[in-house]
Amino acid sequence: MSRIGRNPIALPQGVEFKVNDNVVTVKGKLGVLTQELKSDITVKLEDGVIKLERSSDSKTHRAAHGLYRALIANMIEGVTKGFTKELELVGVGYRASNQGQKLDLALGYSHNILLDIAPEVKVETVSEKGKNPIVKLSSFDKQLVGQVAAKIRSFRAPEPYKGKGVKFVGEVLRRKAGKSA
CATH of the domain at 114: 3.90.930.12
Whether pLDDT at 131 is above 90: yes
Are 54 and 71 in a shared domain?
A: yes
When comparing pLDDT for 55 and 2, which is higher?
55
User: How does residue 55 score in pLDDT terms, banded at 50, 70 and 90?
Assistant: confident
Whether pLDDT at 2 is above 70: no
Residue 65: burial class (beta carbons within 10 Å; 0-12, 13-18, 19+):
buried
Are 91 and 73 in a shared domain?
A: no
Domain, as residue range, for 88? 83-168
The Cα 97–Cα 110 span in angstroms is: 17
Whether pLDDT at 135 is above 90: yes
Are 67 and 55 in a shared domain?
A: yes
pLDDT given for residue 181 in this prediction = 62
The mean predicted confidence, pLDDT, of the chain is 92
Whether pLDDT at 141 is above 90: yes
* Overall average pLDDT of the 132-143 stretch: 95
Are 91 and 123 in a shared domain?
A: yes
Contact 40/5 with Cβ under 8 angstroms? no
